[in-house]
Amino acid sequence: MSTNFLNRIMVALYSNPWVKKRWSQNFNALETDMIPWTPLQKPLSQCKIALLTTGGVHLKNDKPFDMEDKNGDPTYRKIPSTAVQEDITITHKYYNHSDADKDINLVLPLDILRDVQQEGLVGESAEFFYSFMGHIDKHHIKTLVEQTAKDVAHQIKQEKVDIAVLVPA
């Protein structure tokens, strides 16, 4: 049986709410007591915003995420905040993204943010948004926490972003 076939079965299985619940109860997540905290500094309408996703989203002409390494890929992709659905694709074999392929807003709410900005609820967008492929395990978690996530955080700070909204797959 091919690995891809097995993977498809697993993805289908985890779409079941009961299986998802059982899995999450046993998931050995990184635990911590310290929680970082930055109070909101100004009204949302004046806040510069960045979006982030872990849905494996990237520009069609960018390098896809690595699907060969079973521990995942801790790298990230930059997506211009002006991007539209047609510019974008998803490389992530650990969830069923057939709906998100059709409507990218499910994992990266580009159009939704524009609507909310038109209403004046939130300020301008950062130049770039960021995407990870959330299936990250073992030694790649260290790379994520100590390198790539920090790198993204620094870039967002340099852009003078005030708020960030993060969306999982």
Partner 1 sequence: MCNQTVGLVQREIETQGISTVGVSIVREISEKVKPPRTYFLKYPFGHALGEPFNKKQQVTIFKECLKVLESAQKPGVIVDSPYRWRKHRFN
Site of interaction with partner 1 (CB under 8 A): 14-15, 17, 20, 24-25, 27, 29-33, 35-41, 44, 47, 50, 52, 54-55, 72, 94-97, 99-100, 102-103, 105-107, 109, 111-113, 115-116, 121-122, 132, 134-137, 141, 144-145, 149-150, 152-154, 156-157, 161-169
Block residue for tokens 């994992």: 107
A 10 A CB-CB count for 58 gives 23
Dihedral angle sign, alpha carbons of residues 74, 33, 167, 121? negative
Q: SS3 for 79? A: strand
Structure tokens given for 78:
């930059």
Least CB distance to partner 1 at residue 109 (A): 5
Residue placing its CB nearer to partner 1 in the complex, 59 or 141: 141
Question: In the complex, what is the shortest distance from the CB of residue 4 to partner 1, in angstroms, rounded to a whole number?
Answer: 18
Phi, psi of 24, rounded to the nearest 5 degrees: -65, -30
Q: How far is the CB of 3 from partner 1 (least distance, A)?
A: 18
44/59 with CB nearer partner 1:
44
Phi, psi of 4 (to 5 degrees): -65, -40
